[in-house]
Amino acid sequence: MLDVFKNLDILGILRLGLAGLCFLLSLLAFFLIYREQGRDGMPRVGITRAIYTFMAVNLVTAIIVGTVGLVATQQTKKGNTEVPIKGQLEEPEAKEYSVIFKGMIGMAQIMDGGFFEQKCPKDVNALILEFGRAGEVPEQFPIYLDQLSDKPLIFKLNHSAVTDVQRVAKPAIDSAQIAPTTEQLPPLQLK
């Protein structure tokens, strides 16, 4: 028995999973060749062939392990390509406001009790959040993605500080201005 096999932490290696098993099988293949070489005379053809088969199976397993590992890593990388933007609008009537994410593929979101959350691609460096509701001047806030933390961002509108803000009244709907359409139009992403 080789010294290398005596102090081998087999359980520790097996804990690595299939990669560990592959390593052990490779070591066993080496051990078999070593044993066969240690014999007197020529190596036996049958045993050598059996070792080859053993090594081939081991190689196939190693390739499978490598491919699965590579695919899994790629999928993890893909999964982490988005950054969540969480925020809260501190406003008494926050539910009436929408937020539009400028700089991303057009998204608008109505806030659920003042809270909003949107995933943003990592390759976007900065974007502008625009808060608004009908009849009021919208307000913009620039956001730098590398400065974001896990905590939700708190937004306060400037007009909240001004007491005499007049909201423009909603005009009466003129149904003639809403053209009927037979086409299937995608809905506005206000959720």
Looking from the CA of 191 toward its CB, the CA atoms found within 13 Å total 6
In this structure, the strands spanning 126-132 and 107-110 are: unpaired
**Separation between Cα atoms, residue 152 and residue 145, nearest integer Å:** 13
Using CB under 8 A as the binding rule, the residues of this chain from 65 to 94 that contact another protein are none
* Binds another protein by CB under 8 A, chosen from 61, 132, 141, 153: 132
Q: Quick one: 46 or 180, whose CB is closer to another protein?
A: 180
In this structure, the strands spanning 98-102 and 153-155 are: unpaired
**Separation between Cα atoms, residue 93 and residue 70, nearest integer Å:** 50
Q: CB under 8 A: which stretch of 23-31, 32-40, 51-59, 171-179 binds another protein?
A: 171-179
Contact between 110 and another protein by CB under 8 A: the answer reads yes
**Separation between Cα atoms, residue 123 and residue 63, nearest integer Å:** 33
Contact between 42 and another protein by CB under 8 A: the answer reads no
* Binds another protein by CB under 8 A, chosen from 11, 45, 161, 173: 173
Q: CB under 8 A: which stretch of 18-26, 43-51, 58-66, 162-170 binds another protein?
A: 162-170
**Separation between Cα atoms, residue 14 and residue 22, nearest integer Å:** 9
- Chain residues binding another protein by CB under 8 A are 96, 98, 100, 102, 105-108, 110, 130, 132-138, 168-174, 177-179, 181, 183-186, 188-190
